[in-house]
Amino acid sequence: MIVTIDGPAGSGKSSTARAVAQRLGFRHLDSGAFYRALTYAALQAGIAEERWESLDSAALDALRVQARPGAEGWRMFAGDNDISEPIRSPQVNARVSHMARVPAVRGWLMGRLRAAAADGDLVTDGRDMGSVVFPDARLKVYLVADPRERARRRLAEHGHLAPGEAELAAEVARLLERDRIDSERAAAPLVQPADAVVIDTTGLSFEEQVARVVELAQRRR
């Protein structure tokens, strides 16, 4: 069984997907980690950002990015180096949208993401998991949230638990720009699947939103 959880940045899809997978006994497939790993590897290889648009499958292969399965999900490697932690850095956060727009990246990743699904039941999150990568998924969920709430969550992830109004407004602007880029990109843009269940998480606790998805998944099984 495949459960897809899509939505914009800060909607809670990654943390929700991870918790839902644990509750169901499924593996968690974080599609964003693949984009982040490519971004990190390209930066470490010294490939200038202005050259990314010209990257082809051979150049992406040369970065030696791979996902290795674990008990609950996958860890990202560049060659023999486990890069699962550094791919979450602010440097990668600021550039991952650019890597996601590179024409060759979508084709390079598609087969790898689908191959992961062959290993068994999984919960996957991203921006086009239900619309493009797994269009026949048993359950598709699309999470939304108020931009200010999304901004508070994203800042809290980075240790800013009591942001000022200026900091919050700047993060809202950054997230809305990310939404615009993700929605307008030519390759697999952010889109709500027509058959997805939409859940607004603005007024929900984390436990409540996880419970809703788990209940939906159990019904679909």
* pLDDT tens readout for residues 198-215: 999 999 999 999 999 999
Place of tokens 């843009």: 189
Q: 200 vs 44, 45, 123, 208, 209, CA distance in Å? A: 38, 40, 19, 11, 9
What is the model's pLDDT at position 159?
Answer: 83
CATH topology agreement for domains 1-11+126-221 and 27-120: yes
3-state secondary structure of 62: helix
Q: Is 74 in contact with 67 (CB distance < 8 Å)?
A: yes
- Taking the C-alpha atoms of residue 70 and residue 75, their distance in angstroms, rounded to an integer, is 7
Mean pLDDT of the chain: 92
**For the chain, which residues make up each domain, given as ranges?**
1-11+126-221, 27-120
Report whether pLDDT(82) > 90. Answer: yes
The pLDDT, as a whole number, for residue 158 is 78
Query: What class is the 27-120 domain?
Result: alpha beta
Confidence of residue 221 (pLDDT cuts 50, 70, 90): confident
Q: What pLDDT, on the 0 to 100 scale, is given for residue 186?
A: 74
Question: What b-and-e string marks burial along 33-53, b requiring 16 or more CB atoms within 10 Å of the CB?
Answer: bbbbbbbbbbbeeebeeeebe
| Percent of the chain residues past pLDDT 90, beyond the cut | 68
pLDDT at 185 over 80: no
Q: How confident is the model at residue 63 (pLDDT cuts 50, 70, 90)?
A: very high
Q: Which two tokens stand for residue 182?
A: 């993700």
Mean pLDDT of 183-195: 83
Q: Residue 45 is which amino acid?
A: A
What SS3 string covers 108-128? HHHHHHHHHHCCCCEEEEECC
Instruction: Give me the CATH code for the 1-11+126-221 domain, please.
Output: 3.40.50.300
Decide which of 119 and 31 is more confident.
Answer: 31
Average pLDDT over residues 10-25: 93
Is the pLDDT at 43 greater than 90, yes or no?
yes
- Helix, strand, coil content of the chain in percent (nearest 5): 50, 15, 30
